[in-house]
Amino acid sequence: MSTSLPMHGDKSVADHITIGLSKVAAALRSQAWEGGTARRLTPTQGQILALLAERAGEPVRLNQVAAELCMTAATASDAVATLEQKRLVTKSRSSDDHRALTIALTGAGRREAQRTMGWTDVVRAGVAGMTPDEQAVFLRGLTKIIRSLQEQGVISIARQCAGCTYFQPYVHADAAKPHHCGFVNKPMGEGQLRLDCPDFIPGSEAEQADRWRQFLDGSKGR
Ligand code: SF4
């Protein structure tokens, strides 16, 4: 006798979650095209503007754009060249490495980036409707998915707590705030995990593997 619920058919829960995430990705892509078409921006160009806006005040290099947005160096370079022609970004030589190019938003680019970042509002509305407990569980799940994408080589950079040298998982007895961030020197709960933190410092591979194991094992029996 099948143990599947009739609504699941022959698909597993993992299949349904994967389908759900694909739908979210498709909705974001459609929003990006719809919002961008009127202003003649491709989703790639919009993603670059949004990344630069999130990193305001930090020098962002071309190779970093490519790595963080999972695109080839050539695609990133072409998109940045187009944005430069539209006067939405400027390129300059990095002050610490003159062979590297850094990219920054112009005033018009900053305004365009604000509109671009609105493309994600449709998803944010759904996330905002979740309870704090649901958000914390979801955040932990996303942390695991992103870690897996890194291990598979799909994502090269993820500035998330689980890979950060400051992160100390399950060092506190308080179930509401079991982790510790050494950067701010404060306990943190699952709902405070960061997926893109400006203060992230990666540890060595061995350190990251140890920390990840502590993060997974620490939840057992709690
Ligand atoms: S510095 Fe940022 S990424 Fe690192 S543990 Fe603290 S909050 Fe997490």
Nearest CA to ligand 1 atom 8: 161
Q: Closest ligand 1 atom to the C-alpha of 164?
A: 4
Angle at 208 between CA 65 and CA 124, to 5 degrees: 50
Contacts of 179 (CB under 8 A, 6+ apart): 161, 167, 168, 169, 170, 171, 172, 187, 188, 189, 190, 192, 193
Q: Closest ligand 1 atom to the C-alpha of 199?
A: 1
Q: Closest ligand 1 atom to the C-alpha of 188?
A: 7
pLDDT category at 2 given cuts 50, 70, 90 is very low
Q: pLDDT tens, 190-200? A: 999 999 898 99
Of residues 40 and 165, more confidently modeled: 165
What is the DSSP track for 146-204?
A: HHHHHHTTS-S----GGGBTTEETT-SS-TTS-EEETTTTEEE-GGG--SS-TT--B--
- Best substitution site from 143, 160, 177, 183 to test ligand 1's pocket, by max atoms within 8 Å of Cβ? 183
The mean pLDDT value for 7-24 works out to 88
Class of the CATH-defined domain 14-121? mainly alpha
Q: pLDDT tens, 98-107? A: 778 899 999 9
Give the rounded percent of residues in the chain with a pLDDT score beyond 90. Answer: 59
Give the model's pLDDT for residue 6.
Answer: 57
> How far apart are the C-alpha atoms of 110 and 37, rounded to whole Å?
18
Nearest CA to ligand 1 atom 3: 161
Give the model's pLDDT for residue 5.
Answer: 58
Q: pLDDT tens, 37-94? A: 767 889 899 999 999 998 887 889 998 899 888 888 899 999 999 999 999 999 988 7
> How far apart are the C-alpha atoms of 122 and 164, rounded to whole Å?
30
Give the model's pLDDT for residue 7.
Answer: 59
Domain ranges within the chain, ordered by starting residue: 14-121, 130-218
The mean pLDDT value for 101-116 works out to 91
Asked if pLDDT for residue 167 goes beyond 90, the answer is yes
> How far apart are the C-alpha atoms of 140 and 142, rounded to whole Å?
5
Asked if pLDDT for residue 166 goes beyond 60, the answer is yes
Name residue 181's beta-bridge partners.
Answer: 167, 186
> How far apart are the C-alpha atoms of 150 and 135, rounded to whole Å?
22
With contact defined as beta carbons under 8 Å apart, do 218 and 178 qualify? yes
Q: Lowest-confidence range among 32-36, 66-70, 118-122?
A: 32-36
